[in-house]
Amino acid sequence: MSALKRYWRVALGMVVIAALIIAPMYLNRYGLFILSQWAVMTIAATGLNLTLGYAGQVSLAQGAFVGIGAYAAAIMTANGMPLIAGLGVAIVLCFAIGWILGYPALRVQHHYLAFVTLAFSTLAFLVFRNESWLTNGIYGISNIPRPTILGYPTNRPLPFYYVCLGSLALVSLATWWLIRSPWGRAFVALRENPVRALSLGIDTRRYTLMAFAIGSALGGVAGTLYAPLTQYIDPVPFNLSLSLDLLMMVIVGGSGFFFGPFLGAMIAVLLPEWLRFTQGYYLMIYAVAVILLLIYSPTGILGILDRYLTERRTKAASALRAVAKSGLEPAP
Amino acid sequence: MSNLLDLLIAGLATGAIYAIVAVGFTLLWQTSQTINFAQGEFVMLPAFLMLAAMHAGAPFWLAIIFGMLLSMLLLGLGFKMLLVDPMLRHGVLPLAIATMALAIGLKEAVKQFFSAEASPFPSIVPAGDISILGRQVALQSVGVLALAIAAVVGLTALLNRTSIGHQMQATAQNPVVARIIGIPVERMILLTFLINAFLVALASLLITPIYLAKFSSGEVLGQAAFIAAIVGGFNQVRGAIAGGLLIGVVDNLAAAYVSTQYRAAVPMVLLILIILLRPQGLLGRAEERTV
Chain B residue with minimum CA distance to A300: B94
Chain A residues interacting with chain B (CB cutoff of 8 angstroms): 58, 104, 107-112, 114-116, 118-120, 122-123, 126, 129-130, 193-195, 240, 244, 247-248, 251-252, 280-281, 283-284, 286-288, 290-291, 294-295, 298-299
pLDDT digits (tens, 9 = 90+) for A306-324: 888 888 888 888 888 877 7
Confidence band (pLDDT; 50, 70, 90) for B285?
Answer: low
- The three-state secondary structure class of B131 is strand
Measured between beta carbons, which residues in chain A are less than 8 angstroms from residue B90?
298
Q: How far apart are CA A47 and CA A218, in angstroms?
A: 5
Instruction: Look at residues A3, A15, A101 and name the one whose alpha carbon lies nearest to residue A59.
Output: A101
Residues 6+ apart with CB under 8 A from B41: B102, B103, B106, B107, B218, B222
Nearest to A287 among B108, B226, B230 (CB): B108
- Measure B226 CA to nearest chain A CA, in Å: 8
Measured between beta carbons, which residues in chain B are less than 8 angstroms from residue A247?
97, 100
B33–chain A Cβ distance below 8 A for any pair: no
Nearest to B100 among A109, A119, A244 (CB): A244
Measured between beta carbons, which residues in chain A are less than 8 angstroms from residue B91?
298
Query: Which 227-266 residues of chain B touch chain A by CB within 8 A?
Result: 227, 230, 234, 261-262, 264-265
Tell me what the mean pLDDT of segment B56-68 comes to: 91
Q: How far apart are CA A192 and CA A166, in angstroms?
A: 33
Higher pLDDT, B10 or B48: B48
- Measure B247 CA to nearest chain A CA, in Å: 14
Would residue B221 be called left, alpha or beta, if left means φ above 0 and alpha means ψ between -120 and 50 degrees?
alpha
Chain A residue with minimum CA distance to B102: A287
Instruction: Look at residues A300, A273, A290 and name the one whose alpha carbon lies nearest to residue A53.
Output: A300
Confidence band (pLDDT; 50, 70, 90) for A297?
Answer: confident
> In the prediction, which pLDDT does A328 show?
57
DSSP A27: -
pLDDT beyond 50 at A67: yes
Q: How far apart are CA B220 and CA B233, in angstroms?
A: 20
CB contact under 8 A, B272 and A116: yes
Q: Which of A51, A294, A297, A299 to mutate to test the interface with B (most CBs of B within 10 A)?
A: A294
Q: What are phi and psi of B132, to 5 degrees?
A: -120, 125
> In the prediction, which pLDDT does B288 show?
45
Q: How far apart are CA A188 and CA A179, in angstroms?
A: 9
Instruction: Look at residues A41, A57, A40, A46 and name the one whose alpha carbon lies nearest to residue A211.
Output: A57
> In the prediction, which pLDDT does A73 show?
93
Helix (H) or strand (E) holding A242: helix A240-253
Crossing angle of helices B2-32 and B218-232, in 10° steps, is: 80
CB contact under 8 A, B279 and A195: no
> In the prediction, which pLDDT does B289 show?
41
Chain B residue with minimum CA distance to A195: B291
Of all residues in chain B, what percent carry a pLDDT higher than 90?
Answer: 30
Contacts A–B by Cβ distance under 8 A: 112
Tell me what the mean pLDDT of segment A110-128 comes to: 85
Higher pLDDT, A241 or B102: B102
pLDDT beyond 70 at B27: yes
> In the prediction, which pLDDT does B66 show?
93
CB contact under 8 A, A284 and B91: no
Query: In the predicted model, what is the mean pLDDT of chain B?
Result: 85
CB contact under 8 A, A247 and B97: yes
> In the prediction, which pLDDT does B137 show?
74
- Measure B196 CA to nearest chain A CA, in Å: 20
- In this prediction the pTM is 0.86
Crossing angle of helices A62-78 and A240-253, in 10° steps, is: 120
- Measure A260 CA to nearest chain B CA, in Å: 15
pLDDT digits (tens, 9 = 90+) for B213-271: 888 888 888 888 888 888 887 767 788 888 999 999 988 888 888 777 787 788 888 88
pLDDT beyond 70 at A122: yes
Residues 6+ apart with CB under 8 A from B238: B156, B232, B283
- Measure B229 CA to nearest chain A CA, in Å: 11
Tell me what the mean pLDDT of segment A8-13 comes to: 85
> In the prediction, which pLDDT does A119 show?
87
CB contact under 8 A, A280 and B108: yes
Confidence band (pLDDT; 50, 70, 90) for B291?
Answer: very low
Tell me what the mean pLDDT of segment A236-240 comes to: 88
- Measure B59 CA to nearest chain A CA, in Å: 31
Measured between beta carbons, which residues in chain A are less than 8 angstroms from residue B105?
283-284, 287-288, 291
- Measure B262 CA to nearest chain A CA, in Å: 7
Q: Which of A58, A191, A241, A295 to mutate to test the interface with B (most CBs of B within 10 A)?
A: A295
Chain A residue with minimum CA distance to B228: A115
- The three-state secondary structure class of A288 is helix
B92–chain A Cβ distance below 8 A for any pair: yes
Confidence band (pLDDT; 50, 70, 90) for A260?
Answer: very high
pLDDT beyond 60 at A77: yes
Q: Which of A59, A107, A108, A291 to mutate to test the interface with B (most CBs of B within 10 A)?
A: A291
Measured between beta carbons, which residues in chain A are less than 8 angstroms from residue B86?
295
pLDDT beyond 70 at A332: no
Measured between beta carbons, which residues in chain A are less than 8 angstroms from residue B290?
none
- The three-state secondary structure class of B255 is helix
Work out whether the CA dihedral B201, B188, A293, A306 comes out positive or negative.
positive
pLDDT digits (tens, 9 = 90+) for A158-217: 889 999 999 999 999 999 999 899 888 888 888 888 888 888 888 888 888 888 899 999
CB contact under 8 A, B104 and A280: no
CB contact under 8 A, A104 and B109: no
> In the prediction, which pLDDT does B290 show?
35
Least confident of A228-242, A263-277, B184-198: A263-277
Higher pLDDT, A34 or B4: A34
Tell me what the mean pLDDT of segment B69-87 comes to: 92
Q: How far apart are CA A315 and CA A308, in angstroms?
A: 11
Confidence band (pLDDT; 50, 70, 90) for B284?
Answer: low
Q: How far apart are CA A68 and CA A1, in angstroms?
A: 47
Highest mean pLDDT out of A39-53, A267-281, B158-172, B273-287: A39-53
CB contact under 8 A, B108 and A244: no
Confidence band (pLDDT; 50, 70, 90) for B180?
Answer: very high
- Measure B65 CA to nearest chain A CA, in Å: 27
pLDDT beyond 90 at B135: no
CB contact under 8 A, A284 and B112: yes
- The Cβ of residue A33 has, within 10 Å, a number of other Cβ atoms equal to 16
CB contact under 8 A, A112 and B264: no
Q: What are phi and psi of B141, to 5 degrees?
A: -60, -45
Instruction: Look at residues B232, B116, B112, B90 and name the one whose alpha carbon lies nearest to residue A285.
Output: B112
Least confident of A63-77, A261-275, B115-129, B196-210: B115-129
CB B103 within 8 A of CB B35: no
Helix (H) or strand (E) holding A148: strand A148-149
